[in-house]
Chain A
Amino acid sequence: MKAFLSGNEAIAVGAYENGVLFAAGYPGTPSTEILEKIAEYKKIDAQWMSNEKVALDAALGASLAGTRSLVAMKHVGLNVASDTLMTLSYTGVNAGLVIVTADDPGMHSSQNEQDNRNYAKFAKIPLLEPSNSQEAKDDVKLALKISEEFDTPVLIRITTRIAHSRSIVKLSRRRRIFSGGKIFVRHPEKYTMIPINARKRHEFVEHRLKRLKEFSEKTGCNKIGWGKNDIGIIASGVSYQYAKEACPEASFLKLGMSYPLPESLIRKFAKKSSRLYIVEELDPFLEEQIKAMGIKGKGKKVFPLTGELNPDLVREKLCKKNTKKNSGAIARQPFLHPLSFCAGCSYAGLFYILRKLKTVVIGDIGCYALSALPPLSTMDTCVSMGSSIGIALGMGKVSRSSFRKNLIAVIGDSTFIHSGITPLISVVYNKGTTTVIILDNQTTAMTGRQNHPGTGITLKGEKTSKIDYKQLAKALGIKRVKIINCYDLKNIKVVIRQELLSSQPSVLIAKNPCLLLTRRKKFVSFKILDSKCIKCRECLMLGCPAIFLKEHQRPYINSQVCTGCALCKQVCSRNAIKELDIEGK
């Protein structure tokens, strides 16, 4: 049976076919679909965890209890889980444990483009890099085998182009894995990492790495394909596909297992290639190790350290025969249609008011980061998941009171649960005065509307208990907790001003569900009366995608896009915005 699958789906199928029974993760582009697809299999217990560290912990637990498990996250998610990962390398596993990291070179939807291959070297664990969907599926099988044979977690690293590209995959039957004999056995020397035990395990880790190196020499996924000319190319992941497309005549050493590296194989390959190139995206991960072997080759001297590669760019650098002048990285097109909130999103109203109040907005990761773009141009910082509250606390501690009273932290509901609760405790404990707005849109909107502990529904679609933010904030010791409605601009302006002036910390909960969840069927859209409009363009400052400028610089509302939220009506000082009547006039 053949199927046409994305890399993400192929990983899910690989997990199913090879007896994975527990999967966990936290949504993040481009990794989200892995868990969503796995959740479709009844046999696998798949769960969204509150963050990536919890997901890895839970998968480790499942592995120790004798069940094959898989965790999936985006590249920055592994930073959160890295605390567990570093010591997990020492403890090893019981049943197979696979960690999938989905990197985002080119930052299609991320705050940085870190190269997570470095984590494999850092944690001294094996690394697999698939270059198409078939390999993504096969790598799950191989990873589970390595994990159990070498007593180690295994990292599979994909990138956006692997995760979201589709190619043909051969399906196989599900294999039954007998977990008999794998049941958890007390073994503190292995699982309880106090110094006396950990010292011995570190020696084990170094020994394991040597054995893995030998395995890397033999494994089928590291292979040489001799070509017709003297160019030799070492590549892994999607870079291999680009290089193969650009230079089909060259010799290739394709590294499916890119840590630890097969040194003798590389030496053998380098000896026969008079011109050696190392093609990889982002960091010189392979290049540095290969050069440390004393082998000469060209890598980052010709290829960029930033952004994605593509066939044109590789062709230009390798073969020097290029047809077009500026083939460089596919130029990020200037957005004719700028990224903005959806028409009718409650966030537009909130950030419009924050802009009016001239606040310093310490933001976080999520849809609301779009408020950093014009015309709203409100958000002043956006660093990592949950960092808003901590940054606001620190900033407030060292600033003059006039500045402090303009400081506000804005965080989404899922982000708050991910890592916003601990900093909020610090605010109370350290007598901060931070005002925090929790944007409770009842979903993880940016990644495509996944459920989380605040929605009361699990990944499998089952009902579960739901977090009550008000009770939670009160229990943490916040005295001023209020629920606000972002569609009522007058009211939120008053409330926010009041809370900013207060010398106590406060939490405002904006309870407005994501528009894409509710999708009201019947609504009245709005129009702008040309007779009353004075072209002040205040309505455009909402950044609503339904409001445009037409000829003579007059704004108009596209009734097909308008959702009837009435934010623009509240903003207009001339009462020029009216509801369309039933006939649509």
Chain B
Amino acid sequence: MKVNEVNLIIAGIGGQGVLLASEIIAETLVRAGYDVKMSVAYGMAQRGSPIVSHIRAGKKIYSPLISKGQADIVIVMDMTGTQSWIDFLKKDSQVFMLDKYTFSPMAAMVSHKLKRKIKKKHKEIIFIPYDKAFKDLKDIKTLNVFMIGVLSNYFSIKKENWIKIIRKKAPPRIKNINIAVFKLGRQGRYC
């Protein structure tokens, strides 16, 4: 993807690694020469409540928050907080969503309705068959890095540059697993 500006939203719930994934993506974009701003409001959203992060990259970025109807890419790791990002979608937003998987049981209860609602508005949803991916993933905690892998295909940034930042940011204990998972997501056979 080579554009003047890209607005990216990552939505999930506390504990899934939304913050780390956002930092990895943002920092990779910084190294690629973009002006980048990233905003996550956290505080009380620690255990299991929805968390939404905004990443903006371009030539010159002012607001750290994305304007409504301006999100180019949305990565959904959990449906729980859908209300907080659904207004940011535009007609041709790319939405990456896990097909069956929902992290929180709360989200499971609402996901069907919401999926239909999003589908009605936006055709560009890429459902990632979770069952298939999960078999390869093994550790559910690496889901965030897996999604980075999927996303990475949409930028013209070299694989090595992504891995460099993952290596820098990921917890040392599971560094190698994370890199393997990133490659898995990047392979692209899930989309």
Contacts and interface: CB of A to CB of B under 8 A. Distances in A.
Interface of A: 2, 4, 29-30, 104, 106, 108-109, 132, 160-161, 164-168, 238, 241-242, 244-246, 248, 310-312, 315, 323-324, 327, 330-331, 333-337, 339-340, 342-343, 446, 448, 545, 548, 550, 558, 561
B21 to A, nearest CB: 13
Nearest to A335: B49
Nearest to B37: A167
Given A165-B39, A545-B47, A245 B67 contact: yes
A4 B30 contact: yes
Nearest to A551: B109
Contact of B106 (A2, A164, A548): A548
Given A108-B42, A330-B84, 10 more contacts: A29-B43, A165-B38, A165-B40, A242-B62, A242-B63, A310-B67, A312-B68, A323-B69, A333-B50, A448-B46
Contacts of A108: 41-44
A160 B62 CA distance: 16
A558 B39 contact: no
**Residue of A324, A337, A448 most packed against chain B (CB within 10 A):** A337
Contacts of A334: 83
B1 to A, nearest CB: 20
Given A30-B43, A312-B67, A336 B35 contact: no
B65 A311 contact: yes
A169 to B, nearest CB: 10
Contact of A167 (B13, B36, B49, B110): B36
Interface in B9-38: 13, 23, 26-27, 30, 35-38
B83 A333 contact: yes
B105 interface: yes
A166 B107 contact: no
Nearest to A29: B43
B104 interface: yes
B64 interface: yes
B137 to A, nearest CB: 15
Interface residues of B, number: 39
B64 A165 contact: yes
B188 interface: no
A30 B44 CA distance: 11
**Residue of B38, B63, B80, B105 most packed against chain A (CB within 10 A):** B63
Given A245-B62, A548-B106, A109 B67 contact: no
Interface string B93-107: 000000000001111
A561 B14 CA distance: 13
Given A168-B30, A333-B81, A324 B69 contact: yes
B37 A166 contact: yes
Contacts of B80: 336-337
A324 B36 contact: no
7 contacts: A166-B37, A244-B63, A312-B68, A324-B87, A333-B84, A337-B48, A337-B49
A132 B37 contact: yes
B64 A161 contact: yes
- What 5 pairs between A and B have smallest CB-CB spacing? A109-B43, A245-B63, A165-B64, A333-B83, A165-B39
Contacts of B83: 331, 333-334, 336
